Amino acid sequence: MERGIEPITFGRFKRDFDEIEGGVLRRGMFVSLVIVVFFIVNIGTIFSFPLERSLAPVQDYFAFHAAAENSFNDVAGLYDPEIFTALFDEKNGMLWLYPPTMLLVLFPFGLFPYGVAKVIWVIASCAGLGVAAYKITKGNLFLTVAMVLSPAAFAVLFTGQLSIFFACLALVGFLNAKSRPILSGICFGFLTLKPQFGLLVPVFLLCTGSWRAIFAAAVTTLFLVMVSIAAFGLEAWAAFFSSLSQTHTDYVQSVGHSGRITLADALRILGVAELSTALITLLSVGIGGSLIVLARRLGASIPDLTVLALLLTAITAPYFWVYDWLFVTFAALLFLRDRPTQPVWVQGMIVLVWFAPIAPYVGSGANLVPVIWLVLLGVLVAVSSVLLGLTGRGLRRQTI
């Protein structure tokens, strides 16, 4: 039951903690608060705000700010690795892999010095994450704080990524596909700024009959593309599509990335297969889409389908890093909100997947990728067994 506005007190914090059902889950959520240590140890990276980019510690936010600044000049040049990396003085190695529409959102940050722009990004990220967690948990203060201090949140803020906003777009889009289709479609239209997260969106919208959301998503996407062409020219899109067969392909097929958690990466590290990422993605999307359709035909509600869609987005995306893990933790919180009482093994899988994104920061590099991916698969199996009624709890029928 959603609470009204209540004062933030220790009593409320403890009460909300006591409401978490299941000893394994309760202890796991409590232990996760120690992640604050990682924030403190890395405070010089996360909360460093020098006005000059060259004075700041290296983060992915470098790339976003540099691209935002350059959006007023040569956008097509951003897709040339030599031109783009030259923007970072000696801090090279970054690539620009986003469509030109991304710059429509980023260019305002280029109007500010690096430190000011980063302050805005950190405040907006923390606020967005807090609001999302508070809404998902229906006002549970303990779980909201645990989410803001979670391993997934640390991974986003430490690397300087934008994943909080994309996870929120997906969450709002899926949950509101039937009740607020225009809002849903707008969210999915903006999700095309990172198109790898939208592979299952058409399946979700079609099997739920969300025609107005489909229309709104198409219109929003078309609008973003047309505005980007007017702002940056067709040459920017030509450079982007050219990079898909060059820079993108080389990077996606490369190995040894400790924080990139995909089936393709796991298989390559294990030496099991040399299949292309495109083929693996196609098979994964086919299986994931079939699972969503099956759940829908069995009468799953929109929230249940949202849990599946968020988890399957993480599993099927051809490009998914630990800093994108909020897709997974949002799914876990939404699942627990509607089904708080779970068997011990399901509780254990949720605790494992909650801590999984911290592993690359304390473990042995890329060798952990297959283990983390298996944990992700394990929580999908655990959640699916409940949502599909395999544990005897049955499905919640569609009511929206």
| pLDDT tens sequence across 20-31 | 888 888 899 888
Confidence band, pLDDT 50/70/90 cuts, at residue 90:
low
Least confident of 6-10, 188-192, 298-302: 6-10
How many Cα atoms are found within 13 Å in the side-chain-facing hemisphere of 300?
28
The rounded distance, in Å, linking the Cα atoms of 338 and 130 is 19
Looking at the predicted structure, is the pLDDT value of residue 392 above 70? no
CB burial of 314-326 (b: ≥16 within 10 Å; e: otherwise) equals bbbbbbbbbbbbb
User: What pLDDT is recorded for position 6?
Assistant: 63
Which range has the worst mean pLDDT, 87-101, 211-225, 307-321? Answer: 87-101
In angstroms, the CA 281 to CA 262 distance is: 9
Write down the pLDDT at residue 132: 95
Count of CB atoms situated within 10 Å of the CB of 235? 14
Alpha carbon distance 246, 9 (integer Å): 54
Q: How far apart are alpha carbons 305 and 383 in whole angstroms?
A: 11
Per-chain mean pLDDT for the chain: 88
In terms of Cβ atoms closer than 10 Å to its own Cβ (0-12, 13-18, 19+), residue 219 is middle
Query: 166: Cβ–Cβ under 8 A, 6 or more apart, which residues?
Result: 191, 193, 194, 197, 324
Long-range interactions of 26-34: CB distance < 8 A, separation 24+: 28/347, 28/350, 28/351, 28/354, 28/355, 29/142, 29/143, 29/146, 29/351, 29/354, 32/146, 32/149, 32/150, 32/151, 32/354, 32/355, 33/145, 33/146, 33/149
Q: How many Å apart are CA 60 and CA 94, to the nearest integer? A: 8
- Give the per-residue pLDDT at 14: 86
3-state secondary structure 249-283: HHHHHCCCCCCECCHHHHHHHHCCCCCCHHHHHHH
User: In the 8-state DSSP scheme, what is residue 139?
Assistant: S
pLDDT of residue 270: 83
Of 43-52, 220-229, 272-281, 348-357, the one with minimum mean pLDDT is 272-281
Question: Are 251 and 84 in contact, with CB atoms under 8 Å apart?
Answer: no
Spatial contact of 94 and 85, defined as CB atoms under 8 Å apart? yes
- pLDDT digits over 254-268, tens only? 666 778 888 888 888
Task: Please report the pLDDT score of residue 163 as a whole number.
Answer: 93
Distance, in Å, from the CA atom of 136 to the CA atom of 140, rounded to the nearest integer, reads: 9
> Cα angle vertex 95, ends 94, 96, to 5°?
135
